[in-house]
Amino acid sequence: MKNFDLAIIGTGSGNALPPEFDDLEIALIEEGRFGGTCLNVGCIPTKMFVYPADVIANAKDAARLGVSLSYEGIDLPALQDRTFTRRIDVIADDGERFRREDCPNITVYDSHARFVAPKTIEVGGERITADQIIIAAGSRPAIPDLVAESGVRYHTNDTIMRIDKVPERLLILGSGYIACEFAHVFSSFGSEVSIIGRSDVLIKHQDADVARRFTRTVREHWDVRLGQPVTAIESEGDLITITFADGTSVTGDMLLVATGRVPNGDRMNLAAAGIQTHDDGRIKVDEHGRTSAQHVWALGDVSSPYQLKHVANHEAKVVFHNVLNPASLRSFRHDAVPAAIFTHPQVATVGLTEQQALDRGYEIAVNVQDFGGTAYGWALEDNIGICKIIADKKTGLILGAHILGHEAAMLIQGLIQAMAFGTTARDMAEGQLWIHPALNEVVENCLLGLEL
């Protein structure tokens, strides 16, 4: 049985190996496409679809600014060619070729890995051992039983970006990140979109003000079905019908399932290696990325409480350091994790929602500032965007920030920085000059309006 210094399962965040690993003999195991979810079926291709959707949405909305534009349609094959053939597939293929041909210390295995004993992996009919193992095996779409058992054709993020033509009527089951990003994409491209959620708002984990305003806004473009459990999913010919508990139903010609993601540890026989999991399937790790089995580490979606690429990248850096430096272990930083939903209008968030801050007993100051109250908001003729900041009255520190609207993902970065470096709301507002009349003034005004 061949023994390696290190075995890595998964080539998403697991493949970003530091130069210090050049001296180790490494087994790199990937059952799918090199590069993992973010590159092949996640963050990057979705945003390559979202940007054209933004252009279309702005064009459709241009009349409000006195601009006459018309939308003639999307060239889907051209978008797919630009996204996949000319960019993503090249990166995935080059990444694999590089590891196979240019990295003499690395052996690539291209099959499913599963544990058969402590520190012993079976892959492609072979058994290997390793002194240390990193599990970076990611997650996959969760498919509700009702969908799986219905026998109805459905797409997930794995397949929907490679379809032949834009559907006329797209049904989306789920109301979170993926559902809202694809609802924006296909609604802009010309589909009639019905989006189906179980609670009373879309993006329910966001701050309540943001979730409510977002839900209200997108109802103008999407058929939003909320609060009714799905009782049946059926197909007849090319049509798919979803029926709700109240007897109503909705019909479309394509179904996208976006109801969360399952960590991939359940397919790896983890118990054979003494690796424990949480009830939700995530591998249990401590703050350094150590699993319950000695010298076995885990990072990213397979173990993290955050299914976000910037978190997986951060955890990978920490684990890679720790593998080589057992005497000076680094810790995961999971405070104030930011995220953005690239839908329309965009949503960005960091830290606590107002409700979470109250539940934790903080005495808080809260301010909500409309984009429409700033000069750039007037230029945009904006009547949707808001910046909401929650601060701790005792310390003046920012506890959370939530932005809905134009370029929210970029606007929020200053607030993320303030939280990361412990800058108070007042210092952030008054200790720098703000470019006039940039949209950032909405953040400045929101900070200044906090009653601290």
Ligand X SMILES: NC(=O)c1ccc[n+]([C@@H]2O[C@H](COP(=O)([O-])OP(=O)(O)OC[C@H]3O[C@@H](n4cnc5c(N)ncnc54)[C@H](O)[C@@H]3O)[C@@H](O)[C@H]2O)c1
List the binding residues for FAD: 47, 301
Q: Report how far residue 196's alpha carbon sits from residue 13's, in angstroms, rounded to the nearest whole number.
A: 31
Q: Among residue numbers 206 through 235, which ones bind ligand X (CB under 6 A)? A: 230
For position 339 contacting ligand X by CB under 6 A, the verdict is yes
| Catalytic residue list contains 436 | yes
For residue 10, which of 122, 142, 109 has the smallest C-alpha distance? 109
The least CB distance from residue 142 to ligand X, in Å, is 7
Q: Report how far residue 217's alpha carbon sits from residue 363's, in angstroms, rounded to the nearest whole number.
A: 31
| Angle at 221 (CA atoms; ends 175, 234), nearest 5 degrees | 55
The piece of 29-37, 88-96, 218-226, 330-338 that touches ligand FAD (CB under 6 A) is 29-37
The least CB distance from residue 155 to ligand X, in Å, is 13
The piece of 54-62, 109-117, 212-220, 252-260 that touches ligand X (CB under 6 A) is 252-260
Closest to ligand FAD by CB, 157 vs 194, is 157
Q: Which of the listed partners (ligand FAD, ligand X, none) does 138 bind, with a CB threshold of 5 to 8 Å by partner kind?
A: ligand FAD
Query: Binder to ligand X among 29, 173, 183, 273 (CB under 6 A)?
Result: 173
How do 126-135 and 296-298 pair as beta strands? parallel
Q: Residue 200 CB: number of other CB atoms within 10 A?
A: 11
Please answer whether residues 251 and 239 qualify as being in contact, where contact means their C-beta atoms are separated by less than 8 angstroms.
yes
The least CB distance from residue 358 to ligand FAD, in Å, is 27
For position 95 contacting ligand FAD by CB under 6 A, the verdict is no
User: What's the Cα-to-Cα distance from 292 to each of 26, 283, 284, 297, 317, rounded to whole Å?
Assistant: 22, 9, 7, 9, 20
Query: Binder to ligand X among 35, 52, 176, 405 (CB under 6 A)?
Result: 176
Per the annotation, where are the binding residues for NAD(+)? 174-181, 260
Please answer whether residues 190 and 73 qualify as being in contact, where contact means their C-beta atoms are separated by less than 8 angstroms.
yes
Per the annotation, where are the binding residues? 47, 174-181, 260, 301
Q: Among residue numbers 314 through 333, which ones bind ligand X (CB under 6 A)? A: none
User: What's the Cα-to-Cα distance from 265 to each of 113, 273, 282, rounded to whole Å?
Assistant: 10, 12, 7
As to burial, measured by CB atoms within 10 angstroms (0-12 exposed, 13-18 middle, 19+ buried), residue 187 is buried
Tell whether omega for the bond before 437 is within 30 degrees of 0, i.e. cis.
yes
Please answer whether residues 133 and 113 qualify as being in contact, where contact means their C-beta atoms are separated by less than 8 angstroms.
no
Alpha helices in 151-295 (DSSP H): 177-189, 208-218
For position 175 contacting ligand X by CB under 6 A, the verdict is yes
Q: Report how far residue 309's alpha carbon sits from residue 339's, in angstroms, rounded to the nearest whole number.
A: 10
The piece of 79-87, 244-252, 307-315, 413-421 that touches ligand FAD (CB under 6 A) is 307-315
Q: Report how far residue 126's alpha carbon sits from residue 96's, in angstroms, rounded to the nearest whole number.
A: 20
For position 289 contacting ligand FAD by CB under 6 A, the verdict is no
For position 197 contacting ligand X by CB under 6 A, the verdict is yes
Q: Report how far residue 196's alpha carbon sits from residue 210's, in angstroms, rounded to the nearest whole number.
A: 18
Q: Report how far residue 373's alpha carbon sits from residue 337's, in angstroms, rounded to the nearest whole number.
A: 28
The piece of 26-34, 144-152, 375-383, 387-395 that touches ligand FAD (CB under 6 A) is 26-34
For position 9 contacting ligand FAD by CB under 6 A, the verdict is yes
Q: Which of the listed partners (ligand X, ligand FAD, none) does 259 bind, with a CB threshold of 5 to 8 Å by partner kind?
A: ligand X
The least CB distance from residue 190 to ligand FAD, in Å, is 21
Query: Binder to ligand FAD among 7, 26, 38, 298 (CB under 6 A)?
Result: 38
Q: Among residue numbers 311 through 370, which ones bind ligand FAD (CB under 6 A)? A: 312, 342
Helix axis angle for 177-189 and 208-218, nearest 10°, is 20
Query: Binder to ligand X among 308, 380, 416, 418 (CB under 6 A)?
Result: 308
The piece of 80-88, 195-203, 243-251, 330-338 that touches ligand X (CB under 6 A) is 195-203
Residues that bind ligand X (CB under 6 A): 144, 173-179, 181, 196-198, 204, 230, 258-261, 307-308, 339-342
Residues that bind ligand FAD (CB under 6 A): 9-14, 29-32, 36-38, 42-43, 46, 112-113, 136-138, 157, 178, 264, 267-268, 300-302, 307-310, 312, 342
Q: Which residues are catalytic?
A: 436
